[in-house]
A and B are shown apart, each in its own frame.
Chain A
Amino acid sequence: MAAGARATPTRTPPRPSSPAPRTEAVVPPDWASSVTLVSSHPTPPVVVVCGPKNSGKSTFSRILLNALLPRHGKVAYLDTDVGQPEFALPGCISFHIVDEALEDLLNPTLREAERCCFFGDISSKRDPEAYLNCLFHLYDYFVGKYRCDENEMLPLIVNTPGWVKGAGFDMLVEMLRYICPTIVIQIRITAQSKNLPDGMFWLEDEQTGPEMININAAFHDALNRSLLIQKDSCGMRERRLVEYLKQCFPSKISLSTNKELAYALASIPPYQVPFSDVTVVHLHCEVPAGEIWRSLNATIVGLAISNVSEASRSIPYCVGLGIVRGIDVQKGLLYVITPVPLERLQSVDLLQQGLIEIPTTLLQVRGCVSPYMSTNVLHKISERDLYAGDG
């Protein structure tokens, strides 16, 4: 029954039908030829990679990035998927300059961003306008810095989210119109209804569009249907945050388990900042004035610098994420744990609270269980409870 099969929860391991764990990136012929085509362009291209989710956009982007490096030395990368970021943290839209080949073509890796905006949720649907504004801001930044001087132009790869229907499609169209890429790579899967429209779907009439390359998803099953690479995106986000928070500690300290990290986080002397020196911004919720600290305690925040000087789009940019590990209302101090170095923090004047949830594994370690990890929570009213109540 179709409905039953679809209900596979995200946390279960890959579906039985998917291929054995991939150990090496497979580059099909059409991928290879399009990569060659793009990388042979004399002028640094602006490439947008789009397609439905799990079709291999990120993998293709990585291959393309490595291919562009030898010719251009550096490649700019605009990471626009807030739910499954390539280099950045969940909830962030980020702009990177990559100057070394990516070793792992199969998995995203954490890299420091050159410029980053904290959107604050794992899907752009929460606030399409804010999402696009962040994106446009970062693109403007790229154009201003790496596209103006003819001699120092860099190629750009824009990896897009796999949300290609409804509001997701509308946002993709906006994105493409704003960016005006020189090349658009569309990855298509065999389930046609899930694909983006063929052709230059974002242009209204027959304007002269960019070069358009269609390629197919890399994997197929026995019936030649595209195999989608199912990812455990929830677990990936959690691992990404864990990896990031490990940077709070010197690398010589071994933090192999989450438990060790959780204890280390509970023990590390945090940074402190007076209430009066930072402004708290709730990105997606309205919080009554008297409840701000309650709302903030033990949550993840974006550490941002308000950006009033740049007139065009005054979007604060984010230097990293942190955990508000405690609040002392008496002293008027916020205690924040973050890997961001102290010098860099000094200019941080905004704490952006989004809806990025703190991994619960980091909140509970023996003897150091956060008060927000409660026992005896009645959270599921299932039949079980009811029978128990009746009986």
Chain B
Amino acid sequence: MAAAEAAPAPEASGFCTGSGGLSTGRKLVPWSSWAEWRFVRDGLFSPFPAAALRRIAAWRSRGSVLIPVDVTAAFVEIRLRDPFFRSGLAGDDAMESEEMLAMLYSMAIMRLVNGFVENQHKKTGRSISELAEAVGIPRVLVDIRHESSHRNLPSLRLLRLASIKAFDWLKCIYWDRQTNSIPDVEVELKLRLHEIASFLKENDSKESKSGSKRKRSEKLIVKAIKYARRLYYAYPFEVVSVLLDLMQLDAPESPESSDMQEIHSLGVYHSSDTQISNSDMKTIIVKLSEKEPRLLLSVLKSVIEMIEAKEELTNKGESYEFLPVGPSKVKRLCSLVLWLVTSIKELKDSGYIGLVHEIGVLSSDKNAVPCFCLAKLLRKLLNLSITGERCMIDAALLLIEMVNGNSVKEKLRKLPVLSLPRLVKVSSLPQSRTICNEQGSLEKATETLEMFKLQLKRQKNACLTETGTTAGPFNTSTPEKHNRWSVAKSWTPCPIGTIPCSFSSCAVLPAFDAVDHGLEVATLEQHGTFDEVDHSERFESQSDELDDGSILKISRSSPEYDISDMPELTSPLKGRLLVGGVWKKVSEEELLLIKSKMKLLL
């Protein structure tokens, strides 16, 4: 409290001028992201502020709206009613009474002046005008505050002029300054990463030099890593994408050494940036994940999604002409997958990651990673159609081994059983037994995976056709007496204000680390799923899903549900509906029909 009142501190300038990195203090704000704040800012200063004003109404209901935001919105709202400013605006909500308008303006100005100096006034006892001058409030506003509270209401003409002044002042003192102090995660992170990289290089180069210098730069690395971690907590998605960005996955083909510790020396990342070698990047990622193991999962998920996206493009028939680096990039991505999985394994073996079956409510173990996250990643991996890649198979096998601590053998035996539909079950069993016998045989594993995938696809298609006919049960099924409230299943820790869901369409909910630690499907039952799979239930439960919205029910028995994760990053979910675990395109009419039927049921 006292700090705020301290005499002008020289270091304060760092905060106000330009993006100065993350501030240490946090404050409760009504917006969930800076994007939302920008949306409101742009709206308020545009000719069509209605949406921004609505958002501010929502902010007000949350409390903690800042004075400048509140007053700016007030000015915008008054102008919307003032015939002088609303030229060309349709509607009949113009306010004709000059007296009323003058009152509105005066009140807004009064609140502005008081809002900025009241606290100081109470604390220091200095006069309002003196304080206002110090803060830089235009004198005319201070006079209007005085006049309208103690004397006659100022004229509307003066008030309009003053309101323009006030508006501009607010823009400058709050909106512009705040814009400048929003941290640019990308720039910040890249800066730190380059710092770390250069320290790393330094260390390498003076291997022989004195230990003290070495220690110093190690200290600096630790510091920079810590900062990078803070960035990750605050902006996990952005950080992961920057990390991947710096991995130069788009770089043209370069010679790769067999142990994947290659250094890409070709090309320059950004015109200004010196590039960080991939091996340095990997060192950095490992360092980061030692304290925050889930970072590796986030990266892995992103990489798998990148491969998915590539595949999707290929499937759409876009030829490689448009993507000259396509195949090799995929190849690099695949090797990255293996590296990531290997790192996860290494961290697990060295105790940095604790694989747990379920993150306890009170597990203070920040290194705990639920098994089902890996299981889910594994499924994602297996859903990819790249099969020839040896490293993908290796990665999958490693994952399998981690997910099921017992033995690869056991797992492999169950895998096909799990995923093949009834018809193929019988025929696939013998084959899986063969695999048991020669568990080291990767070729066989590839074959199984291939088959596994084929079946998945077949299932998927079956689902699509099946769900096309579910309109029947829709009409006939009687609404069950359902409980309104239930305990959410398969929950994973996530900050209050977010949900652990990867395909939350709502932009206001920053889906933190969506799929890795946040699984919307009943992944807790994952382990059960491997053992007891009743395929006959599946289609039934899908209609259940549509009936009572309990998506959890369906996912228990349908392993292919996760396929729906795929398109989320590459294609917007607009106009799509989750049917049988697949995002299907639906027309407006279909939606309306479903909606009306849902209503009937509820």
Contact = CB atoms under 8 A, between A and B. Distances in A.
A268 B20 CA distance: 36
A270 to B, nearest CB: 5
Contacts of B501: 328, 330-331
A68 to B, nearest CB: 38
Nearest to A386: B136
Interface stretch (A154-162, A206-214, A225-233, A319-327): A319-327
The 3 closest A-B pairs by CB, nearest first: A298-B497, A326-B499, A291-B58
Contacts of B493: 263, 266-267, 368
A287 B57 contact: yes
A274 B174 contact: no
Interface of B: 1, 4-6, 8-9, 12-13, 15-17, 20, 22-34, 54-55, 57-64, 66, 68, 116, 120, 122-123, 125, 134-136, 173-174, 177-178, 181-183, 233-234, 292, 359-364, 366, 483-489, 491-499, 501, 503-506, 508-510, 512, 520, 549, 551, 573, 578, 602
Given A328-B499, A346-B483, A369-B26, A286 B57 contact: yes
25 contacts: A11-B1, A249-B361, A263-B364, A263-B493, A268-B491, A269-B488, A272-B485, A277-B484, A277-B485, A288-B57, A295-B58, A298-B32, A323-B496, A326-B509, A328-B509, A330-B505, A366-B233, A368-B493, A369-B495, A375-B23, A375-B24, A378-B177, A385-B12, A385-B16, A388-B12
Contacts of B16: 378, 385, 388-389
A363 B495 contact: yes
B68 A381 contact: yes
B52 to A, nearest CB: 11
Contacts of A357: 28, 63-64
B125 A3 contact: yes
Interface string A296-316: 011100000000000000000
Contacts of B509: 297, 326-329
A375 B496 contact: no
Given A277-B484, A326-B509, A329-B506, A364 B361 contact: no
A192 to B, nearest CB: 26
Contacts of B6: 384
Given A345-B485, A369-B233, A374 B497 contact: no
A305 to B, nearest CB: 11
A290 interface: yes
Interface stretch (A14-22, A26-34, A182-190, A347-355): A347-355
B4 A382 contact: yes
Q: Which of B20, B173, B485, B508 has the most CB of A within 10 A?
A: B485
A99 to B, nearest CB: 30
B498 A371 contact: yes
Given A9-B1, A363-B496, A370-B496, A271 B508 contact: no
Given A297-B509, A360-B28, A371 B174 contact: no
A271 B495 contact: no
B68 A363 contact: no
Q: Which of A253, A284, A367, A380 has the most CB of B within 10 A?
A: A367
Contacts of B20: 376
B486 A272 contact: yes
A379 interface: yes
Contacts, number: 267
A191 interface: no
A204 B328 CA distance: 91
Contacts of A384: 4, 6, 8-9, 12
A373 B504 contact: no
A262 to B, nearest CB: 8
B303 to A, nearest CB: 22
Nearest to B501: A328
Contacts of B496: 265-266, 298, 323, 325-326, 337, 358, 362-363, 368, 370
A370 B495 contact: yes
Contacts of B506: 293, 327-330
A363 B4 CA distance: 23
Given A263-B364, A271-B485, A363-B496, 9 more contacts: A4-B125, A269-B487, A269-B489, A291-B54, A294-B508, A327-B506, A330-B506, A368-B496, A384-B8
A355 B30 CA distance: 12
Contacts of A360: 26, 28
Contacts of A37: none
A383 B134 contact: yes
Contacts of A367: 233, 292, 366
A66 to B, nearest CB: 37
Contacts of A323: 496
Contacts of B25: 375, 377
B54 A290 contact: yes
**Looking at A263, A358, A362, A373, which has the most chain B CB atoms within 10 Å of its CB?**
A373
B360 A325 contact: no
Interface string A276-292: 11100010111110111
Contacts of A370: 495-498
Contacts of A222: none
A378 B181 contact: yes
A335 B505 CA distance: 16
Contact of A371 (B24, B32, B58, B484): B32
Given A287-B61, A294-B508, A387-B8, A377 B27 contact: yes
A361 to B, nearest CB: 11
B500 to A, nearest CB: 8
Nearest to B505: A330
A90 to B, nearest CB: 13
A3 B359 CA distance: 54
